[in-house]
Protein backbone atom coordinates (compact mmCIF):
# COMPACT_ATOMS: atom_id res chain seq x y z
CA UNK A 1 0.00 0.00 0.00
CA UNK A 2 1.51 3.33 -1.09
CA UNK A 3 2.06 5.74 1.81
CA UNK A 4 4.22 8.57 3.11
CA UNK A 5 5.84 9.36 6.46
CA UNK A 6 4.56 12.42 8.33
CA UNK A 7 6.38 13.91 11.32
CA UNK A 8 5.23 16.79 13.52
CA UNK A 9 8.09 17.85 15.78
CA UNK A 10 7.22 19.86 18.90
CA UNK A 11 9.21 21.29 21.77
CA UNK A 12 8.46 18.36 24.06
CA UNK A 13 7.02 15.61 21.87
CA UNK A 14 6.81 14.34 18.31
CA UNK A 15 3.71 12.99 16.59
CA UNK A 16 4.14 10.79 13.55
CA UNK A 17 1.99 8.88 11.10
CA UNK A 18 2.02 6.85 7.94
CA UNK A 19 -0.47 8.53 5.63
CA UNK A 20 -2.28 7.23 2.56
CA UNK A 21 -2.95 9.45 -0.46
CA UNK A 22 -6.57 10.03 0.61
CA UNK A 23 -5.37 11.36 3.99
CA UNK A 24 -6.13 8.22 6.01
CA UNK A 25 -3.72 7.70 8.91
CA UNK A 26 -2.57 4.11 8.54
CA UNK A 27 -0.37 4.13 11.64
CA UNK A 28 0.28 6.68 14.39
CA UNK A 29 3.08 6.95 16.95
CA UNK A 30 4.48 9.41 19.48
CA UNK A 31 7.94 9.97 20.87
CA UNK A 32 9.50 12.43 23.32
CA UNK A 33 11.62 15.05 21.55
CA UNK A 34 14.27 14.90 24.27
CA UNK A 35 15.38 18.51 23.96
CA UNK A 36 17.06 18.34 27.38
CA UNK A 37 19.75 16.21 25.71
CA UNK A 38 20.68 19.00 23.29
CA UNK A 39 20.02 19.83 19.63
CA UNK A 40 22.21 17.11 18.13
CA UNK A 41 20.35 14.48 20.14
CA UNK A 42 17.02 15.92 18.97
CA UNK A 43 18.08 15.64 15.34
CA UNK A 44 19.21 12.05 15.86
CA UNK A 45 15.90 11.23 17.57
CA UNK A 46 14.00 12.61 14.56
CA UNK A 47 16.12 10.61 12.12
CA UNK A 48 15.82 7.43 14.17
CA UNK A 49 12.06 7.82 14.56
CA UNK A 50 11.64 8.33 10.80
CA UNK A 51 13.75 5.24 10.08
CA UNK A 52 11.60 3.17 12.45
CA UNK A 53 8.47 4.36 10.66
CA UNK A 54 10.00 3.45 7.31
CA UNK A 55 10.76 -0.05 8.58
CA UNK A 56 7.27 -0.47 10.02
CA UNK A 57 5.66 0.62 6.75
CA UNK A 58 7.79 -1.74 4.71
CA UNK A 59 6.93 -4.66 6.97
CA UNK A 60 3.23 -3.85 7.41
CA UNK A 61 2.29 -2.57 3.95
CA UNK A 62 4.77 -4.34 1.69
CA UNK A 63 6.76 -1.32 0.56
CA UNK A 64 8.70 1.56 2.12
CA UNK A 65 7.29 5.05 2.26
CA UNK A 66 7.35 6.93 -1.05
CA UNK A 67 8.20 10.28 0.56
CA UNK A 68 8.31 12.05 3.91
CA UNK A 69 7.06 15.36 5.27
CA UNK A 70 8.25 16.94 8.51
CA UNK A 71 6.95 20.00 10.35
CA UNK A 72 9.24 21.78 12.81
CA UNK A 73 8.96 24.91 14.98
CA UNK A 74 10.98 28.09 14.67
CA UNK A 75 12.41 29.64 11.52
CA UNK A 76 12.31 27.33 8.51
CA UNK A 77 13.76 27.68 5.02
CA UNK A 78 11.41 25.28 3.28
CA UNK A 79 12.89 25.86 -0.18
CA UNK A 80 16.38 24.82 0.96
CA UNK A 81 15.14 22.22 3.46
CA UNK A 82 16.90 23.86 6.40
CA UNK A 83 15.64 24.19 9.98
CA UNK A 84 17.21 27.63 10.47
CA UNK A 85 16.55 28.29 14.15
CA UNK A 86 14.41 27.09 17.03
CA UNK A 87 14.69 28.59 20.50
CA UNK A 88 12.82 25.62 21.99
CA UNK A 89 14.99 22.97 20.37
CA UNK A 90 18.25 24.92 20.40
CA UNK A 91 19.27 24.17 16.84
CA UNK A 92 20.63 26.39 14.09
CA UNK A 93 20.94 25.74 10.35
CA UNK A 94 20.14 22.03 10.42
CA UNK A 95 19.94 20.58 6.87
CA UNK A 96 17.06 18.40 7.94
CA UNK A 97 15.74 17.59 4.48
CA UNK A 98 19.10 16.21 3.35
CA UNK A 99 19.67 14.31 6.60
CA UNK A 100 16.24 12.69 6.47
CA UNK A 101 16.59 11.86 2.78
CA UNK A 102 19.89 10.12 3.47
CA UNK A 103 18.47 8.19 6.43
CA UNK A 104 15.37 7.14 4.47
CA UNK A 105 17.16 5.75 1.45
CA UNK A 106 16.92 8.79 -0.81
CA UNK A 107 13.16 9.33 -0.85
CA UNK A 108 11.99 12.93 -1.39
CA UNK A 109 11.50 14.92 1.82
CA UNK A 110 9.48 18.09 2.41
CA UNK A 111 10.23 20.41 5.33
CA UNK A 112 7.67 22.86 6.66
CA UNK A 113 6.97 25.29 9.51
CA UNK A 114 4.74 23.67 12.14
CA UNK A 115 1.95 26.27 12.17
CA UNK A 116 1.89 26.70 8.39
CA UNK A 117 1.83 22.92 8.00
CA UNK A 118 -1.09 22.59 10.43
CA UNK A 119 -2.79 25.44 8.59
CA UNK A 120 -2.33 23.62 5.29
CA UNK A 121 -4.23 20.65 6.70
CA UNK A 122 -6.98 22.80 8.22
CA UNK A 123 -7.38 24.64 4.93
CA UNK A 124 -7.54 21.61 2.66
CA UNK A 125 -9.25 18.95 4.74
CA UNK A 126 -10.33 20.70 7.95
CA UNK A 127 -12.31 23.77 8.94
CA UNK A 128 -11.26 25.79 5.89
CA UNK A 129 -12.09 23.15 3.31
CA UNK A 130 -13.50 24.83 0.21
CA UNK A 131 -12.28 28.33 1.17
CA UNK A 132 -9.98 29.94 -1.39
CA UNK A 133 -8.58 32.34 1.24
CA UNK A 134 -8.27 31.58 4.96
CA UNK A 135 -6.28 32.58 8.01
CA UNK A 136 -5.48 29.90 10.60
CA UNK A 137 -4.56 31.24 14.06
CA UNK A 138 -3.64 28.76 16.83
CA UNK A 139 -3.75 30.21 20.34
CA UNK A 140 -1.21 28.29 22.38
CA UNK A 141 1.92 29.23 24.32
CA UNK A 142 2.28 31.95 21.71
CA UNK A 143 0.23 32.98 18.69
CA UNK A 144 1.20 32.36 15.09
CA UNK A 145 -0.74 32.22 11.86
CA UNK A 146 -0.98 30.53 8.49
CA UNK A 147 -2.20 32.44 5.44
CA UNK A 148 -4.01 30.08 3.08
CA UNK A 149 -4.30 30.91 -0.62
CA UNK A 150 -5.82 28.56 -3.20
CA UNK A 151 -4.89 25.32 -1.45
CA UNK A 152 -1.40 26.40 -0.37
CA UNK A 153 0.06 28.42 2.49
CA UNK A 154 2.01 31.65 1.98
CA UNK A 155 5.52 31.59 3.46
CA UNK A 156 6.55 35.16 2.70
CA UNK A 157 9.81 36.37 1.16
CA UNK A 158 11.84 35.32 4.21
CA UNK A 159 9.65 32.63 5.78
CA UNK A 160 8.01 34.94 8.34
CA UNK A 161 4.52 35.33 6.86
CA UNK A 162 1.63 34.92 9.29
CA UNK A 163 3.34 36.03 12.52
CA UNK A 164 0.18 37.71 13.80
CA UNK A 165 1.24 37.14 17.40
CA UNK A 166 3.73 39.97 16.99
CA UNK A 167 1.28 42.51 15.68
CA UNK A 168 1.30 45.30 18.30
CA UNK A 169 -2.24 45.68 19.68
CA UNK A 170 -1.37 47.63 22.85
CA UNK A 171 1.35 50.18 22.00
CA UNK A 172 3.77 50.64 24.89
CA UNK A 173 2.27 47.66 26.68
CA UNK A 174 3.72 44.44 28.09
CA UNK A 175 7.28 43.68 26.88
CA UNK A 176 7.57 40.76 24.47
CA UNK A 177 10.64 38.52 24.04
CA UNK A 178 10.70 39.60 20.39
CA UNK A 179 11.81 43.06 21.53
CA UNK A 180 8.55 44.92 21.01
CA UNK A 181 5.96 45.98 23.58
CA UNK A 182 2.26 45.21 23.43
CA UNK A 183 2.33 42.22 21.06
CA UNK A 184 -0.90 40.29 20.59
CA UNK A 185 0.47 37.08 22.08
CA UNK A 186 1.24 38.88 25.34
CA UNK A 187 -2.52 39.38 25.82
CA UNK A 188 -4.46 36.70 23.95
CA UNK A 189 -2.39 33.49 23.97
CA UNK A 190 -3.30 30.62 26.27
CA UNK A 191 -0.10 31.38 28.20
CA UNK A 192 -1.08 35.05 28.63
CA UNK A 193 -4.56 34.18 29.86
CA UNK A 194 -3.10 31.61 32.25
CA UNK A 195 -0.72 34.21 33.68
CA UNK A 196 -3.42 36.87 34.01
CA UNK A 197 -5.89 34.49 35.66
CA UNK A 198 -3.26 33.12 38.06
CA UNK A 199 -2.68 36.68 39.21
CA UNK A 200 -6.34 37.66 39.40
CA UNK A 201 -7.44 34.49 41.19
CA UNK A 202 -4.49 34.30 43.57
CA UNK A 203 -3.85 30.70 42.49
CA UNK A 204 -0.40 30.34 40.91
CA UNK A 205 -1.41 26.97 39.44
CA UNK A 206 -4.51 28.32 37.65
CA UNK A 207 -4.46 28.24 33.85
CA UNK A 208 -6.53 29.37 30.86
CA UNK A 209 -8.84 26.35 31.06
CA UNK A 210 -9.57 27.23 34.69
CA UNK A 211 -10.30 30.80 33.64
CA UNK A 212 -12.78 29.62 31.01
CA UNK A 213 -14.58 27.47 33.59
CA UNK A 214 -14.72 30.44 35.97
CA UNK A 215 -16.18 32.59 33.19
CA UNK A 216 -18.86 29.97 32.62
CA UNK A 217 -19.67 29.95 36.35
CA UNK A 218 -20.11 33.74 36.37
CA UNK A 219 -16.93 34.85 38.16
CA UNK A 220 -16.56 38.60 37.40
CA UNK A 221 -12.77 38.50 37.85
CA UNK A 222 -12.50 35.76 35.24
CA UNK A 223 -14.89 37.63 32.94
CA UNK A 224 -12.62 40.69 33.07
CA UNK A 225 -9.48 38.66 32.28
CA UNK A 226 -11.27 36.82 29.48
CA UNK A 227 -12.69 39.98 27.92
CA UNK A 228 -9.27 41.64 27.88
CA UNK A 229 -7.92 38.68 25.91
CA UNK A 230 -10.94 38.64 23.56
CA UNK A 231 -10.64 42.37 22.87
CA UNK A 232 -6.91 42.12 22.13
CA UNK A 233 -7.50 39.11 19.88
CA UNK A 234 -10.28 40.92 18.02
CA UNK A 235 -7.99 43.91 17.45
CA UNK A 236 -5.30 41.65 16.00
CA UNK A 237 -7.72 39.70 13.83
CA UNK A 238 -9.31 42.83 12.37
CA UNK A 239 -5.86 44.13 11.45
CA UNK A 240 -5.18 40.79 9.74
CA UNK A 241 -8.47 40.66 7.85
CA UNK A 242 -8.00 44.28 6.73
CA UNK A 243 -4.69 43.27 5.14
CA UNK A 244 -5.58 39.77 3.92
CA UNK A 245 -9.36 39.74 3.32
CA UNK A 246 -9.76 36.02 4.17
CA UNK A 247 -13.00 34.20 3.52
CA UNK A 248 -12.58 32.13 6.69
CA UNK A 249 -10.85 32.76 10.03
CA UNK A 250 -9.93 29.47 11.72
CA UNK A 251 -9.07 29.65 15.42
CA UNK A 252 -7.29 26.70 17.03
CA UNK A 253 -4.92 25.86 19.85
CA UNK A 254 -5.53 25.41 23.56
CA UNK A 255 -7.64 28.55 24.06
CA UNK A 256 -10.07 27.47 21.33
CA UNK A 257 -10.93 24.40 23.42
CA UNK A 258 -13.16 26.74 25.46
CA UNK A 259 -15.64 26.51 22.57
CA UNK A 260 -18.41 29.08 22.51
CA UNK A 261 -17.09 30.63 25.72
CA UNK A 262 -14.46 32.04 23.36
CA UNK A 263 -16.21 32.11 20.00
CA UNK A 264 -19.44 33.88 20.97
CA UNK A 265 -17.76 37.00 22.45
CA UNK A 266 -14.98 36.90 19.86
CA UNK A 267 -17.39 36.95 16.92
CA UNK A 268 -19.21 39.88 18.54
CA UNK A 269 -15.97 41.76 19.20
CA UNK A 270 -14.74 41.31 15.62
CA UNK A 271 -18.12 42.37 14.23
CA UNK A 272 -18.07 45.55 16.34
CA UNK A 273 -14.69 46.51 14.91
CA UNK A 274 -15.23 46.02 11.18
CA UNK A 275 -16.27 49.02 9.10
CA UNK A 276 -15.76 48.61 5.35
CA UNK A 277 -14.23 45.12 5.65
CA UNK A 278 -16.17 42.02 4.69
CA UNK A 279 -16.80 39.90 7.78
CA UNK A 280 -15.34 36.41 7.30
CA UNK A 281 -16.77 33.29 8.86
CA UNK A 282 -15.00 32.68 12.19
CA UNK A 283 -14.83 28.99 13.03
CA UNK A 284 -12.98 26.61 15.36
CA UNK A 285 -10.22 24.40 13.98
CA UNK A 286 -11.42 20.89 13.16
CA UNK A 287 -8.34 18.65 13.24
CA UNK A 288 -7.01 19.17 16.77
CA UNK A 289 -3.50 17.90 17.44
CA UNK A 290 -3.50 15.75 14.28
CA UNK A 291 -3.30 18.87 12.05
CA UNK A 292 0.51 18.94 12.02
CA UNK A 293 0.83 15.29 11.03
CA UNK A 294 -1.87 15.55 8.39
CA UNK A 295 -0.24 18.68 7.00
CA UNK A 296 3.19 17.02 6.89
CA UNK A 297 1.57 14.16 4.99
CA UNK A 298 0.08 16.63 2.51
CA UNK A 299 3.51 18.20 1.98
CA UNK A 300 4.93 14.77 1.18
CA UNK A 301 2.13 13.88 -1.24
CA UNK A 302 2.48 17.29 -2.91
CA UNK A 303 6.15 16.52 -3.52
CA UNK A 304 5.25 13.28 -5.27
CA UNK A 305 2.52 14.90 -7.35
CA UNK A 306 4.83 17.73 -8.39
CA UNK A 307 7.50 15.19 -9.34
CA UNK A 308 5.02 13.33 -11.53
CA UNK A 309 3.94 16.61 -13.16
CA UNK A 310 7.54 17.69 -13.77
CA UNK A 311 8.44 14.35 -15.37
CA UNK A 312 5.30 14.47 -17.50
CA UNK A 313 6.21 17.94 -18.79
CA UNK A 314 9.74 16.79 -19.62
CA UNK A 315 8.35 13.77 -21.51
CA UNK A 316 5.90 15.93 -23.41
Q: If you average pLDDT over residues 222-229, what whole number do you get?
A: 98
Q: Give the predicted TM-score (pTM) of the model.
A: 0.89
What is the average pLDDT value for the chain, to the nearest integer? 93
Task: Please give the pLDDT value at position 289.
Answer: 87
Q: How confident is the model over 285-294, as pLDDT tens digits?
A: 999 989 999 9
Q: If you average pLDDT over residues 187-198, what whole number do you get?
A: 96
Q: If you average pLDDT over residues 157-166, what whole number do you get?
A: 90
Q: If you average pLDDT over residues 11-39, what whole number do you get?
A: 90
Contact 29, 16 (CB under 8 A): yes
Q: If you average pLDDT over residues 172-195, what whole number do you get?
A: 95
In percent, the amount of the chain with pLDDT more than 70 equals 97
Task: Please give the pLDDT value at position 312.
Answer: 44
Distance of alpha carbon 7 from alpha carbon 199, whole angstroms: 37
Q: If you average pLDDT over residues 245-252, what whole number do you get?
A: 96
Contact 295, 117 (CB under 8 A): yes
φ/ψ bin of 141: left (φ > 0), alpha (ψ from -120 to 50), beta (otherwise)? alpha
Q: What are the Cα distances from residue 22, in Å, to 71, 243, 252, 298? A: 19, 34, 23, 10
Per-residue confidence band for 315, with pLDDT thresholds at 50, 70 and 90 = very low
Find the helix or strand (DSSP H, E) in which 43 lies.
helix 39-61
Q: What are the Cα distances from residue 155, in Å, to 32, 39, 112, 294? A: 28, 25, 10, 18
Q: How confident is the model over 117-137, as pLDDT tens digits?
A: 999 999 999 999 989 999 999
Q: Can you list the positions of beta strands (E) in the chain?
A: 4-9, 13-19, 25-32, 68-72, 75-77, 82-86, 91-94, 109-113, 133-138, 146-149, 152-154, 248-252, 281-284
Task: Please give the pLDDT value at position 316.
Answer: 47
Q: If you average pLDDT over residues 246-274, what whole number do you get?
A: 96
Q: If you average pLDDT over residues 297-306, what whole number do you get?
A: 92
Q: If you average pLDDT over residues 25-35, what whole number do you get?
A: 91
Q: How confident is the model over 143-153, as pLDDT tens digits?
A: 999 999 998 99
Helix (H, G, I), strand (E, B) or coil at 111: strand
Q: How confident is the model over 252-263, as pLDDT tens digits?
A: 999 999 999 999
Please, how many CA atoms are within 13 Å of residue 159, restricted to the half-sphere of its CB? 19
Task: Please give the pLDDT value at position 311.
Answer: 45
Amino acid sequence: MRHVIALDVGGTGMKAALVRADGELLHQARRATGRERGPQAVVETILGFAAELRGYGEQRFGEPASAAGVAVPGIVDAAQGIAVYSANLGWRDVPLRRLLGDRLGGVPVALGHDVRTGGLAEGRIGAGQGADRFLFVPLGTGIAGAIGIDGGVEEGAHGFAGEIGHVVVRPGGTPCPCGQRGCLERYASAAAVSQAWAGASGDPEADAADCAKAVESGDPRAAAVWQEAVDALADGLVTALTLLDPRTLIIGGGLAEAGETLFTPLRAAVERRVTFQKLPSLVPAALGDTAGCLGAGLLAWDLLENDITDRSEVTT
